[in-house]
């Protein structure tokens, strides 16, 4: 029988592969984008994005992806079209702003704690990207995600730090703190 951690990893793997299929099927003005030629980087970044979700949220999101495929929808096309203001909002759920604001706060705080290992490209751009991605989620998945954010805040956890810690460990750099210290020593 699979452990909860193994089940979570299997869910993340299936989610990321479904997202990758959508991403690779996303048309790009001017032809294939450079990031579409690096599927392993995409897998790593999307795994990082999902690593802090619990099983219930992952299962709900996987259902969203399956339902989207059955309806002929591509979340990546929708997200990027929203970013370019080519589509009207896909959702008006008030949880969109709550989650996006929390994720911005997590990232801002994480960048302040680990300035060498976590660089941001500007909070407005991050928030817009985050919110457009959130608009593709079902109300059920949004509620589960918002519940996770509330729990993290109550527990004093920072989801951005946890994601970056996972990324740097995956890349063989040790913990986020160790990698930040390594980069600081080089400066």
Residues 36, 39, 44, 45: what is their CA dihedral angle, to the nearest 10 degrees? 10
30, pLDDT greater than 90:
no
Check residue 123 and give its pLDDT: 82
pLDDT digits (tens, 9 = 90+) for 147-177: 999 999 999 999 999 999 999 999 999 999 9
- Helix H, strand E, coil C: the string for 97-124 is HHHHHHHHHHHHHHHHHCCCCCCCCCHH
26, pLDDT greater than 90:
no
pLDDT digits (tens, 9 = 90+) for 107-118: 999 999 999 999
Domains contained in the chain, number:
1
pLDDT digits (tens, 9 = 90+) for 106-145: 999 999 999 999 988 778 899 999 999 999 999 999 999 9
Rounded Cα distance between 77 and 85, Å, is 12
Written as six digits, the tokens of 37 are 């030629």
For residue 17, what are the domain limits? 4-186
């Amino acid at each position: 029988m699979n452990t909860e951690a193994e089940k979570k990893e299997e869910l993340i793997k299936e989610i990321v592969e479904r997202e990758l299929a959508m991403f690779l099927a996303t048309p790009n003005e001017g032809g294939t984008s450079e990031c579409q030629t690096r599927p392993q980087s995409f897998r790593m970044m999307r795994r990082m994005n999902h690593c802090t979700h619990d099983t219930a949220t992952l299962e709900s999101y996987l259902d969203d992806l399956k339902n989207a495929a059955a309806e002929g929808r591509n979340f990546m096309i929708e997200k990027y079209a929203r970013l370019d203001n080519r589509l009207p909002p896909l959702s008006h759920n008030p949880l969109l702003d709550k989650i996006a604001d929390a994720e911005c706060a997590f990232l801002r705080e994480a960048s302040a704690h680990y300035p060498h290992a976590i660089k941001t490209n500007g909070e407005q751009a991050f928030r817009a990207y985050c919110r457009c991605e959130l608009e593709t989620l079902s109300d059920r998945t949004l509620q589960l995600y918002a519940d996770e954010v509330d729990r993290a805040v109550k527990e004093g956890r920072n989801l951005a730090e946890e994601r970056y810690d996972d990324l740097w460990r995956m890349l063989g750099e040790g913990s986020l703190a160790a990698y930040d210290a390594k980069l600081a020593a080089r400066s």
